[in-house]
Amino acid sequence: MFATLSDRLADTFKNLRGKGRLSEADIDATAREIRIALLEADVALPVVKEFVAAVKERARGEEVSGALNPAQQVVKIVHEELVAILGGETRRLRYAKNGPTVIMLAGLQGAGKTTLAAKLALWLKEQGKTPLLVAADLQRPNAVNQLQVNGGRVGVPVFAPEPGNGVGDPVSVARASIEEAKRTLHDVVIVDTAGRLGIDAELMQQAADIRTAVNPDEVLFVVDAMIGQDAVTTAQAFLEGVGYDAVVLTKLDGDARGGAALSIASLTGKPVMFASNGEKMTDFDLFHPDRMASRILDMGDVLTLIEQAEKAFDAEQAAKAAAKLTGQGGEFTLDDFLEQMQQLRKLGSMSKIMGMLPGMGQFREQLENFDEREIDRVQAIIQSMTPGERANPKMIDGSRRKRIAAGCGRTVTDVNQLVDRFFEARKMMMSMAKGGGMPGMPGMPGMPGMPGPGKRGKAKQQPRKGKGAKRGSGNPAKAGAKKPGNPAKTGSNPFGGDAPIDYEQAAADLNLPKDFSKFLK
């Protein structure tokens, strides 16, 4: 969603690299480029003006003028200002001290409230809560049925006493759900209300009546992040007509410009609490302003990646694989490789995972074109092998590769590439696990052909006197004697040095017999 904005800002910061000081013209040019980038991203004009003014003021301050690297300092300023307009700090749910916590969802038609209600229920379930979904959207056709289906997908019960499709009183349903939650010992109630328009006074009044009936602990305004400036207008209308405590952004994985996400918190004063960035029920989490700002500036989001990995990865399997890579638990096999890939698959889309790493913005096109089915093809090839072949890939010869290719419907070339990549990956991972660094990276220890820790490459050295002169000197008399029959006092350096070697002095340094010179004739 923020691809265009990220690219424009990255190009702006490139122009600052290499500058020891920032002139007034540099600051004005940078501010102008940032203003254009934000306006192209459909950020509200008042937010753009405030943002650019803050960046210019801080850029003219001592924190930049005295900095060693002004470009990095400007990036830091922009990052901090982005965090500010996105809400500052992460906003978390408030839970009721007594009785069930009531969460009411409101928003426009088509914003994705019903799907988001199920995502929120699953998220709360993973937090150790026992949520209850309430079907209070009785206007939209099949809204009740959709919530029941989604509730079944996430394993959360749905309270739906009315069939919907224009039948029933949503205020009564919402009020009855509180008693039902108390009776069935559910500690969180999620009320899904009908979508409405800001100009629809009747439906706005209905939402206000539901709020009065259930007295929710949190009212969340659900907004489609792809609708641009209309999202801000609707958010202000809902704030005045119904009121809400926080915002939930949906469809953050879309290809729109994303200005709504950067505008709502600043203009309404209400923080963004949650964000939905995919179609899966697990594509939902707390909204972290600092992490979103880092993504926009192509700094990655490693913390979110770590959190997802902690949820998805099996710690015991990971420990076994690590032991094998260090040579303490046997050899790392294709079975272990497949297990690691399957755990990685639990994190979700590989494109999204790679996108969380710093600096991946420059590879955006490759990530967008990545074929997610490649992992399925690799899995098919490995599972077409016998247990012995997976345990010892070195035994896979030409005939075996042909049989494996036929068994999985791939070509022999595909099998060859997988086996070769496995050996390369195992070698790299073993080197890293043992602290040897990554093979092929200059200056890193543990690489073939590179000096190990504490060693230096062989530079041209001045010849040393002593044993080195005697050893490997070949025929020094012949090489160094100026006149036949005379002892050679000096000779050319057989080791490639420019300075000649004084063999007489070398003999003296070694405390050899005085007549040692006769051996040099």
Determine whether the annotation assigns residue 115 to a binding site. Answer: no
* 109 annotated as belonging to a binding site for a ligand: yes
184 is an annotated ligand-binding site residue: no
Give the Cα separation of 12 and 7 in Å (integer). 9
**Residue 261 is inside which H or E element, if any?**
helix 259-268
Taking the C-alpha atoms of residue 59 and residue 73, their distance in angstroms, rounded to an integer, is 8
Exposure b/e, 112-150, CB count within 10 A at least 16 = b: bbbbbbbbbbbbbeeeebbbbbbbbbbbbeebbbbbbeb
| 110 annotated to a ligand binding site | yes
Alpha-carbon distances of 426 from 205, 394, 441, rounded to whole Å: 63, 13, 16
Query: Has 489 been labeled as part of a binding site?
Result: no
Report the largest interatomic distance among the alpha carbons of the chain, rounded to a whole angstrom: 123
Residue 99 annotated as binding?
Answer: no
In whole angstroms, give the CA distance from residue 426 to residue 332. 7
Distance, in Å, from the CA atom of 113 to the CA atom of 310, rounded to the nearest integer, reads: 28
Please check if 472 is assigned to a binding site. Answer: no
114 marked as binding residue: yes
Is 193 among the annotated ligand-binding positions? yes
For the chain, the distance separating the N- and C-terminal CA atoms, rounded to the nearest angstrom, is 83
- Structural contact between residues 284 and 339, judged by C-beta atoms closer than 8 angstroms: no
Phi, psi of 482, rounded to the nearest 5 degrees: -85, -35
The one-character DSSP state at 195 is P
Q: Is 252 marked as binding a ligand?
A: yes
In terms of C-beta distances under 8 Å and separation of at least 24 residues, what long-range contacts does 288-291 make, across chains too? 288/90, 289/82, 289/83, 289/86, 289/87, 289/88, 289/89, 289/90, 289/265, 290/83, 290/90
Q: How far apart are CA 348 and CA 370, in angstroms?
A: 13
Is 181 labelled a binding residue?
no
Under a CB-based contact definition with an 8 Å cutoff, are residues 491 and 479 in contact?
A: yes
Place of tokens 């003028």: 65
> Is 192 one of the annotated binding-site residues?
yes
Query: Does 440 count as an annotated binding residue?
Result: no
Closest CA to 33 of 79, 80, 78, 81: 78
CB 337 within 8 A of CB 321: no
> Is 124 part of any known ligand binding site?
no
Cα distance between residue 458 and residue 83, in whole Å: 50
112 in a labelled binding site: yes
Cα(345)–Cα(282) distance, integer angstroms = 13
How far is residue 463's CA from residue 357's CA, in Å, rounded to a whole number? 50
- Binding site: residue ranges? 107-114, 192-196, 250-253
- Binding site for GTP: residue ranges? 107-114, 192-196, 250-253
